[in-house]
């Protein structure tokens, strides 16, 4: 059986070790604002449909939402949850940024 390792630091995580599953989900946010389209609307729609046609289902799905999961050791999980992008800024509560989603 393949040994389980922390996705971040690579430390081995033998059976019985405290480990964390980090689930990441990103999705396209919609703020309710539609840019006014200048030009022939029918042409615009046709262009949009052609663009969508050119994308396979997976690519299209990835444009809208993505989900991933990682196994982390406790120190890596703590570090991520406190400052995921290592910006030195305090973490933001999800309710504070999802105000644009209806």
Binding site for Zn ion (CB under 5 A): 6, 8-9, 11, 73, 76
In whole angstroms, the minimum distance from the beta carbon of 85 to Zn ion comes to: 17
- CB within 8 A of 29, min separation 6: which ones? 98, 100, 101
What CA–CA distance (Å, rounded) separates 83 from 3? Answer: 28
The partner residues of 65 in beta bridges, in order of sequence, read 27
74 or 98: CB nearest Zn ion: 74
In whole angstroms, the minimum distance from the beta carbon of 6 to Zn ion comes to: 3
10 or 99: CB nearest Zn ion: 10
In whole angstroms, the minimum distance from the beta carbon of 43 to Zn ion comes to: 52
Instruction: Give alpha helix (H) positions in 1-102.
Output: 41-53, 57-64, 74-82, 94-97
10 or 39: CB nearest Zn ion: 10
């Amino acid at each position: 059986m393949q040994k389980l390792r922390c996705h971040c630091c690579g430390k081995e995580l033998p059976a019985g070790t405290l480990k964390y599953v980090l689930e990441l989900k990103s999705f396209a946010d919609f703020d309710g604002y539609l840019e006014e389209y200048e030009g022939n609307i029918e042409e615009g729609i046709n262009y949009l449909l052609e663009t969508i046609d050119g994308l396979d289902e997976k690519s299209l799905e990835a444009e809208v939402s993505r989900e991933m999961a990682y196994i982390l050791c406790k120190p890596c999980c703590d570090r991520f949850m406190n400052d995921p992008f290592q910006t030195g800024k305090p973490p933001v509560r999800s309710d504070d940024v999802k105000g644009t989603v209806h």
